[in-house]
């Protein structure tokens, strides 16, 4: 993202209770990324670029169809 990375986005998102429930899928080319830490901050999924389009679609479906997002994510 031009203004902030995924870490910064999740931190800022967690400050706004109105948007915390929105599921976030991190899609990144960053090497050595700590997917566990990103999930702890509230990311629903972490996919690495280049990703198979089927994997991206599966992640979107999984989280779009999962019902209400996690309460208190982050």
Digit-coded pLDDT (tens) for 6-51: 889 899 888 888 877 778 898 888 877 788 899 998 899 999 888 8
Rounded distance, CA 10 to CA 43, Å? 7
pLDDT of residue 58: 92
DSSP state of 68: S
What is the DSSP annotation of 41-66? Answer: TT-SEEEESS--HHHHHHHHHHHHSS
pLDDT of residue 70: 56
pLDDT of residue 57: 92
pLDDT of residue 68: 59
DSSP state of 72: T
pTM of the predicted model as reported, rounded to 2 decimal places? 0.72
Residue 29 exposed, middle or buried by CB count within 10 Å (0-12, 13-18, 19+): exposed
List pLDDT tens digits, range 25-35.
988 888 777 88
């Amino acid at each position: 993202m031009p203004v902030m990375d995924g870490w910064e986005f999740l931190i800022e998102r967690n400050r706004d209770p109105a948007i915390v429930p929105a599921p976030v899928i991190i899609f990144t080319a960053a090497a050595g990324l700590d997917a566990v830490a990103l999930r702890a901050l509230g990311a629903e999924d972490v996919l690495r670029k280049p990703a198979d389009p089927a994997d991206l679609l599966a992640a979107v479906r999984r989280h779009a169809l999962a019902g209400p997002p996690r309460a208190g994510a982050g």
